[in-house]
């Protein structure tokens, strides 16, 4: 009798347990319908969009030419022409003197225009760059930049140029390859434009030219870049004008791309120095869905370690670097931020390296690719 009773109890418990399990399954099924989990394909599809981090750009208020009623240096128009990835905020003179405001941006474009120089502006610009910001400044902003970084100022190179055409030598190899020429003719529309009068071990000259001023003919840098603290500065005598040919437009686009990759370029230089590699060649480019691939050649004339770096920020892109040796051996890496391929014993001859954009978060996504040699 007791056995039958216990059997009945066990059966009832088992039935209750089954009912509970069925209820749980039903609830789980209902939750699945209401809140379906993501499968691998869905996750992969969402990941790039989730990783997109747009550039935070600021452009100073443009100075309007009272005669032509147009901006002297319309950086905003140039950025807008590059697509949605280059949207920007317009900042006032007060914003430029506010370190907390500047800290919100990856890049600050301090476009040409009138404006005084005071300790608040000097301190804010210096702090912004030292903490990792990238500052692009042009023409009449020379005084503000020179005062913020006085140790790099070169008074003997300082000058005011006349309006007209200036033939500039393309000193930087990367810019020379991008423009496909050794010289470029620049059109200065107004007189008293300022030379890029900076010098020092940290100053890299990209353009240099001979210009005419009230005191005769002179030669000076027209485009420079330098690092300071964790950040970088790009200063250009030439800027966005009212009349520009294709070469001048290409130069300004190159400057924008150079500006937005300045942070990863500085990081790359630090890594190369730390690992005892000496840069031999670098290329600056941008990738779009319509133009996802670019190839370059490097003629290696030195035995030893050879390193290929692809430098770009983690903003939702996925790029692939393919390196092919003179004998046809292929090395390949892909990633969502900077990556490198190191060849321990690189053979002599022509190496091909190709960058393929597998995913870009926006059009004209800028990247830098560099070749360097290991020091013995």
User: Is the predicted pLDDT of residue 20 greater than 50, yes or no?
Assistant: no
Q: Identify the domain boundary among 212, 232, 260.
A: 260
If one counts every other C-beta atom within 10 angstroms of the C-beta of residue 295, the result is 11
Residue 32 lies in a domain: no
333: number of Cβ within 10 Å? 14
The string of pLDDT tens digits covering residues 236-286 is 998 876 667 788 889 989 999 999 999 999 999 999 999 999 999 999 999
Considering the domain architecture, whether residues 356 and 287 belong to the same structural domain is answered as: yes
CA 55 → CA 77, 103, 142, 163, distances in Å? 16, 13, 25, 34
Q: Could you list the residue range(s) of the whole structural domain that residue 102 is in?
A: 51-260
Q: Say if 193 falls within a structural domain.
A: yes
| 246 falls within a domain | yes
As for how many domains the chain has, the answer is 2
Q: Indicate if 314 and 218 belong to the same structural domain.
A: no
Q: What is the pLDDT of residues 66-113, one digit of tens each?
A: 565 666 678 888 899 999 999 999 999 999 999 999 999 999 999 887
Q: What is the mean pLDDT of residues 345-362?
A: 96
Q: Are residues 229 and 305 in the same domain?
A: no
Q: What is the pLDDT of residues 193-240, one digit of tens each?
A: 999 999 999 999 999 999 998 888 999 999 999 999 999 999 999 887
Q: Would you say residue 296 has pLDDT above 80?
A: yes
- Considering only residues 9 and 365, tell me which one the structure prediction assigns the higher pLDDT: 365
pLDDT band with cut points at 50, 70 and 90 for residue 64: low
Q: Is residue 280 part of a domain?
A: yes
Q: Is residue 295 part of a domain?
A: yes
Quote the percentage of the chain above a pLDDT of 90.
Answer: 70
Give this prediction's pTM.
0.83
Q: Which helix (H) or strand (E) is 24 found in, with range?
A: helix 2-34
Q: How many angstroms separate the CA atoms of 339 and 318, rounded?
A: 11
Question: Quick one: 223 and 289 in the same domain?
Answer: no
Q: Give the domain-ending residue among 260, 294, 322.
A: 260
d(CA 160, CA 92): 26
Task: Identify whether 45 is part of a domain.
Answer: no
166 and 242 both lie in a single domain: yes
In this structure, the answer to whether residues 255 and 282 fall within a common structural domain is no
Q: Are residues 235 and 358 in the same domain?
A: no
155-to-143, 200, 215 alpha-carbon distances in Å: 11, 12, 15
41 located within any domain: no
Q: Cβ of 30: how many Cβ atoms within 10 Å? A: 10
157 phi and psi angles, rounded to 5 deg: -100, -5
- Mark whether 242 and 288 lie in a shared domain: no
Give the whole-angstrom CA distance, residue 134 versus residue 124.
13
Q: Give the number of residues written for the chain.
A: 376
Q: If we measure between CA atoms, which residue out of 232, 16, 239, 252 comes closest to residue 140?
A: 239
213 shares its domain with 307: no
Q: Are residues 108 and 190 in the same domain?
A: yes
- Give the tokens for residue 329: 């051996």
Amino acid 82: pLDDT: 93
What is the pLDDT at residue 65? 63
Same-domain check for residues 181 and 247: yes
Confidence of residue 50 (pLDDT cuts 50, 70, 90): low
CATH assignment at residue 316: 2.60.120.380
CATH code where residue 219 lies: 3.40.50.880
Boundary (domain end) residue, out of 260, 291, 324: 260
Measured CA to CA, the distance from residue 167 to residue 147 in angstroms comes to 28
% of the chain with per-residue pLDDT over 70: 83
How far is it, in rounded angstroms, from Cα 253 to Cα 156?
30
| Domain identity same for 104 and 133 | yes
Domain assignment present for 101: yes
pLDDT of residue 113: 78
């Amino acid at each position: 009798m007791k056995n039958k009773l216990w059997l009945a109890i066990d059966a009832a418990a088992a039935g209750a347990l089954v009912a509970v399990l069925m209820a749980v399954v039903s609830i789980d099924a209902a939750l699945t319908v209401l809140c379906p989990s993501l499968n691998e394909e869905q996750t992969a599809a969402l990941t790039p969009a989730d990783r997109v981090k747009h550039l935070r750009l600021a452009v100073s208020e443009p100075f309007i030419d009272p005669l032509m009623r147009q901006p002297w240096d319309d950086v905003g128009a140039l950025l807008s022409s590059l697509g949605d990835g280059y949207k920007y905020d317009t900042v006032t003179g007060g914003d430029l003197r506010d370190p907390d405001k500047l800290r919100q941006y990856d890049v600050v474009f301090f476009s040409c225009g009138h404006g005084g120089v005071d300790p608040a502006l000097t301190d804010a610009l210096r702090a912004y760059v030292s903490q990792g910001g990238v500052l692009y400044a042009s023409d009449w902003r020379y005084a503000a930049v020179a005062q913020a970084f006085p140790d790099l100022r070169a008074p003997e190179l300082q000058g005011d140029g006349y309006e007209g055409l200036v033939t500039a030598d393309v000193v930087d190899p990367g810019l020379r390859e991008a423009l496909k020429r050794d010289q470029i003719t620049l059109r200065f529309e107004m007189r008293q434009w300022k030379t890029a009068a900076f010098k020092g071990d940290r100053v890299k000259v990209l353009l240099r030219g001979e210009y005419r001023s009230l005191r005769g003919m002179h030669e000076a840098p027209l485009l420079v870049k330098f690092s300071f603290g964790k950040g970088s500065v790009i200063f250009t005598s030439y800027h966005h004008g009212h009349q520009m040919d294709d070469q001048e437009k290409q130069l300004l686009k190159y400057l924008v791309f150079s500006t937005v990759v300045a942070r990863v370029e500085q990081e790359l230089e630090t890594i190369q120095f730390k690992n005892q590699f000496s840069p031999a060649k670098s290329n600056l480019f941008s990738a779009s869905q319509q133009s996802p691939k670019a190839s370059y050649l490097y003629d290696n004339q030195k035995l030893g370690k050879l390193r290929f770096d692809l430098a770009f920020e983690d903003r939702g892109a996925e790029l692939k670097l393919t390196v092919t040796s003179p004998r046809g051996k292929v090395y390949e890496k892909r990633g969502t931020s900077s990556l490198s391929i190191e060849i321990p014993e690189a053979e002599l001859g022509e190496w091909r390296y190709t960058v393929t954009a597998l995913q870009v978060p926006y059009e004209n996504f800028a990247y830098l690719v560099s070749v360097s040699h290991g020091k013995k």
